[in-house]
A and B are shown apart, each in its own frame.
Chain A
Amino acid sequence: MICSEFKELVGAYALDALDPLERAAAEAHLMEPRHEGCLQALERARAATLQLGGAVDDAGVPAHVWERIEMGLGPRRKRSWSAPAGWAAAAVLAVVVLLLLQQQGRLQREGADLRLSVQSATSSAGSSQELARQCAAQLDAERAGSAAAREAIALLERPGSRVVQFGGVGGAVQTAFAVIGDDGKRAILVSTTLAPTPERDYQLWVVPGGRGATPIAAGLVGAPAAGIAVTEFAAQALSAGAAALAVSAEPKGGSPTGTPSEVVLLAKVSG
């Protein structure tokens, strides 16, 4: 695919209306290093697509998204929202395990480096106290990230646990998986693309089953450790069960309205 061809279908790509082969070709093209306006065209198309949801209701959440969840999801989106079966599930599982193990390995190495830094800094004169404090803070973050990764691996290894893959909404490019416990009362998000910025947080949501169900806030996605964000959904949000899990982009600190502002990822859990 060349740039002019990509720009011909960029609108359909942003709408997620391409067939799988076309979509794969478009995504392969995006991976190429040089472009003639492709990325700008994609940004414009995505901006328009994301605003289409505003035509639906006052909550700013695409109503069809929730309606589709309630109806068991439409035929097309199943390809990216459903829990994959058979070999596909094994492939997803392998990716998650690989991500988590990579993170653990990196964190262990970085943790060792940080410990040395802290020891070195604290053994120096008082002028190094700030450095020591900063290193200690990083070490704490490393421990937290490592603990979350260990939790995810432990949950993954429990009998009956499963993995669901999130699908992008409205042309979103983020990807994520969720490890879900056998009783559905625990879920941990794993993502290499979700990361808070100074202006934006990503928020987790649990969508209970039943018509008219309101999404329940389940915490903010934490800062990635070694490039991988691992965040557990709030237990109380899962207490009533989940038909779907979602991630929304929000202003810093989370949704100001109590409802998702801009859903970027969705994963069907039940059904």
Chain B
Amino acid sequence: QRRQERDRVRTALQTLPEAQRRAIELAYFQGLTQTEIAEKLGEPLETIKTRIRMAMEKLAAMLPETQ
């Protein structure tokens, strides 16, 4: 069951555009703020905010609370 759960989450992440997935990975898996992500990637802060917003909207749709 854990493997299925892991695969489901990984699949959801893989469906994101690369730039959005990268922003999510930096925020969640590396613990960076949006500002820190913008600095790290050399991108405008508003761009990062948009990427995270769009990515989270997609993930929320793909990963509804099932437990």
Contacts and interface: CB of A to CB of B under 8 A. Distances in A.
A76 B49 contact: no
Contacts of A8: 49, 53
Interface of B: 2-3, 5-6, 8-10, 13, 24, 27-37, 49, 52-53, 55-57, 59-60, 62-65
How many chain A residues sit at the interface, stated as a range, is: 20 to 34
A157 interface: no
A28 B9 CA distance: 31
A44 B64 contact: yes
A15 B13 contact: no
A44 B2 contact: no
B6 to A, nearest CB: 5
A11 interface: yes
Given A55-B9, A55-B10, A17 B52 contact: yes
Nearest to A57: B6
Contacts of A19: 33-35
Given A15-B52, A58-B3, 10 more contacts: A11-B56, A14-B56, A15-B28, A15-B56, A17-B28, A17-B37, A48-B59, A51-B63, A52-B13, A58-B6
A11 B30 contact: no
Interface string A1-18: 000000011111011111
